[in-house]
């Protein structure tokens, strides 16, 4: 990734939230992959490199890039707590069913 692209991404991500940590990952298939991290979690956003090049001109393309990165932040914040299958619900015993008697079946 070129230095100009990194500066553009840094300014756009900083305009969304100053607490987002990000790092570019190895790109494949002509896409830019960015790892976004917050205290709540992290996600990977893939952006076509054409969109990054168009965003240098500003205007609509830059806003489109910003919206794509904001969706990545929203994905982090909307993620619920991880499912923990090893935590089972508490089941309390209800006791023996009804009164029982001895030899006579319980009636007197």
pTM: 0.70
The verdict on residue 30 lying in a domain is yes
Q: Is 68 inside any structural domain?
A: yes
Is residue 46 within 8 Å of residue 32, measured between CB atoms? yes
Give the pLDDT of residue 106: 53
Q: What is the CATH number of the domain that holds 7?
A: 3.30.160
For the beta carbon of residue 31, count every other beta carbon within 10 angstroms. Answer: 15
96 belongs to a structural domain: no
Residue 8 is assigned to a structural domain of this protein: yes
The residue segments making up the domain with residue 40 are 3-78
Domains identified in the chain, total number: 1
Q: What is the pLDDT of residue 21?
A: 94
pLDDT in tens, the chain (108 residues): 688 999 999 999 999 999 999 999 987 788 999 999 999 899 999 999 999 999 999 889 999 999 999 999 999 999 877 677 777 778 888 777 766 665 655 555
- Maximum distance among all Cα pairs of the chain, rounded to whole angstroms: 95
Residue 81 has a pLDDT of 73
């Amino acid at each position: 990734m070129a230095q100009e692209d990194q500066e553009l991404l840094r300014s756009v991500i900083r305009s969304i939230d100053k607490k987002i940590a990000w790092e570019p990952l190895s790109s494949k298939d002509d896409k830019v992959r960015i790892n976004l991290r917050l205290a709540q979690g992290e996600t990977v956003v893939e952006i076509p490199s054409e969109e990054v090049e168009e965003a240098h001109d500003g205007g609509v393309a830059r806003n489109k890039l910003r919206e794509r990165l904001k969706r990545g932040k929203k994905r982090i914040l909307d993620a619920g707590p991880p499912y923990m299958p090893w935590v089972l619900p508490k089941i309390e015993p209800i006791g023996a069913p009804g009164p029982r008697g001895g030899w006579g079946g319980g009636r007197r």
